[in-house]
Structure 1
Amino acid sequence: MRRGGRTMRVAGAPISWGVCEVPGWGHQMSASRVLDEMREAGLTATEFGPEGFLPADPVERAALLAGHQLSAVGGFVPAVLHESGHDPLPGVERALNGFGDARTLVIAAATGADGYDSKPHLDGDGWHTLLTNLDRIVARAARAGVETVLHSHVGTMVEGPDEIDRVLDGCEVPLCLDTGHMLVGGADPAGIARRAPERVAHVHLKDVDAGLARRVRSGRTAYTDAVREGMYRPLGAGDVDIEGIVDALSTSGYAGWYVLEQDTVLDGEPPAGQGPLTDVRTSLDYLSRVAR
């Protein structure tokens, strides 16, 4: 896609098909069907998805993706960054060993627990450790030719606006601007795109039902339950200012990936041609209109 003379690089993500690293998340579709449907929707690139979804060997992984006419963008890697007695680098290095030609490491500051329904409080020492580890990971990945971006994420140590600002002020890591998780966490993704576009190196495009997001922030609804209820919507069907975000980034000269994500929980295998594929097509149609 092109907008304002610039090419918009658009990729898919297995989470739009309900494929998630959280145990018990929901029905997990096979890689062959997910990749087939990505290509059927017109996508040409994807993030890896959770560990075990694609082959761990980078050569095998690349061959599988190539067989579906897809290339790899990079991968989401949750890592515990705030504990002084834990070194996240060995785990990050293992992940990087499987990256092959992919060039974007999407780090989330995991709590150490499964799921994203709660998180502990982080004190000053924890913040120092987290920010130091982010800079260490940025340097290590750069030596492998991979760019690290931090994904602020509901239920992780970096979730809300104050935590995002603390990262922006306290270390050099670029951001993955996840438009959905930022809004659910109480931040303004369009505002961040306008005031700090130079820190945005990767984008996850999500749309969100703001009413359900408010219920998550208030504690009335657990995050996973809200996702199951349809908190994430196809682009254009929710309350995120997708067009304003794309406009702000395009104006700033952003040339990175836009990864379509609609976090989904599936109760079973959808009929062929239905389910997630329908929503992904809706999002792509909307993004095409925005690009024009």
Structure 2
Amino acid sequence: MRLGYCSITWGGVVGHPTGVTSVKDLFYLTHGDMQRAVEDIGAAGYEGVEMFDGNLVEFADRPEVLTGHLRDAGLELVSVYSGANFIYPDILPDELDRIRRSADLAAQFGAGRLVIGGGARRAAGTTDEDYGRLADSLNQVTDIAEAAGVEASYHPHLSTIVESPEELDRLLPATRIGFCPDVAHLAAGGGDPAAIIRAYGDRINHVHLKDLTRESVTFQPLGAGDLDLPGILAALRDTGYDGWLMVELDDYDGDPKDAARASRDSLRRLLAA
């Protein structure tokens, strides 16, 4: 398995402000210096990086700048993260148009994976039809990704309608998109990450790793929380997964490079055990 890191730690995540009035432009974005993020991730010993689609948009007209940063850092762009509401029929065409642009950018910069989050929770409450709409939308995302030459993965996420194991079980059998387990989000949603990985091992085509302090629901560098990381890695091995392990940390009270190094050191010890 190869090790990569997500650029979110260098600035956190926001939505593009034009998306408030124009859904087709609501890209994810890290308000950080992507050159510094790439340099730090490479210096920390990783081989790849995952970025938000909105950060790739910034380089769409000057691709040589980003490819130069990646080359200098010895990294490849592994994956691109995007997402949408996916349950509102009126805005779905514009959301899918944006996803299409994200998939094309991923392919342009050599990424093999498009990671997708989403499935909005309505103010009035989630309906049974919402899961069907989300599943149908994710099938369309899968088609869009395949047309661009990349693979799509669904990432369950807190605040969406796919937080708990029961919600995941409602969605995955109804769609053919690949599965990206984020072990901390799965645990925070009440699940056993290792058990979920074993249950859906044939669907996994991408992995997000971070640790979690359950009591406070605080994401941590690997080894700093209370997840059973050895058990999680054993479950991945048992399923035959041999792809990228992408370490992710949404924010960090300190230098993000220090968090990246700490997670790398912890993960290397775990993989060698």
Shorter-chain TM-score tier: 0.7 to 0.9
Q: Distance in 2 between matches of 1:96 and 1:23?
A: 17
Q: Which residue of 2 aligns with 1:3?
A: none
Query: Aligned in 2, Cα 1:288/1:22: closer, same or farther, shift over 3 Å?
Result: same
What are the Cα deviations for residues 115-142 of structure 1, in whole angstroms up to 9, with x where unaligned? xxx9763212222211111111112211
Structure 1: segments with no counterpart, 5+ residues: 1-7, 113-117, 214-230
Equivalent positions of 1:1-292 (< 5 A) are 8-22=1-15, 28-49=31-52, 51-52=54-55, 55-57=59-61, 59-60=63-64, 61-85=66-90, 86-87=92-93, 88-99=95-106, 100=108, 101-111=110-120, 121-213=125-217, 231-264=218-251, 275-292=255-272
Alignment TM-score, normalising by the size of structure 2: 0.85
Alignment TM-score, normalising by the size of structure 1: 0.80
In structure 1, give the amino acid aligned to 2:97. P
The DSSP-based 3-state class of the residue aligned with 2:14 is coil
Q: Distance in 1 between matches of 2:190 and 2:5?
A: 25
In structure 2, give the amino acid aligned to 1:196. Y
Q: CA contact under 8 A between 1:108 and 1:152: conserved in structure 2?
A: yes
**CA displacement at 1:194 relative to structure 2:** 1.8
Query: Aligned in 2, Cα 1:205/1:120: closer, same or farther, shift over 3 Å?
Result: farther
Structure 2: segments with no counterpart, 5+ residues: 18-29
In structure 1, give the amino acid aligned to 2:79. G
**CA displacement at 1:256 relative to structure 2:** 1.6
Question: Alignment RMSD, CA only?
Answer: 2.4
Structure with more helix by fraction: 2
Greater than 4 Å deviation, 4+ residue runs? none
Q: Distance in 2 between matches of 1:154 and 1:204?
A: 14
Q: CA contact under 8 A between 2:210 and 2:220: conserved in structure 1?
A: yes
Query: Aligned in 2, Cα 1:179/1:58: closer, same or farther, shift over 3 Å?
Result: farther
**CA displacement at 1:189 relative to structure 2:** 1.1
Q: CA contact under 8 A between 2:252 and 2:259: conserved in structure 1?
A: no
The DSSP-based 3-state class of the residue aligned with 1:248 is helix
Q: Distance in 1 between matches of 2:252 and 2:32?
A: 11
**CA displacement at 1:110 relative to structure 2:** 4.8
Asked which structure has the greater RCO (Cα within 8 Å, sep 6+), the reply is 1
Identical aligned residues as a percent: 31
Q: Distance in 1 between matches of 2:6 and 2:216?
A: 22
Q: CA contact under 8 A between 2:83 and 2:99: conserved in structure 1?
A: no
How many equivalent pairs are there?
A: 255
Q: CA contact under 8 A between 1:208 and 1:233: conserved in structure 2?
A: yes
What are the Cα deviations for residues 19-75 of structure 1, in whole angstroms up to 9, with x where unaligned? 313579xx9431222111111101121012351365234833323322322110111
**CA displacement at 1:251 relative to structure 2:** 2.2
The DSSP-based 3-state class of the residue aligned with 1:211 is coil
The DSSP-based 3-state class of the residue aligned with 2:55 is coil
**CA displacement at 1:240 relative to structure 2:** 1.4
**CA displacement at 1:185 relative to structure 2:** 1.6
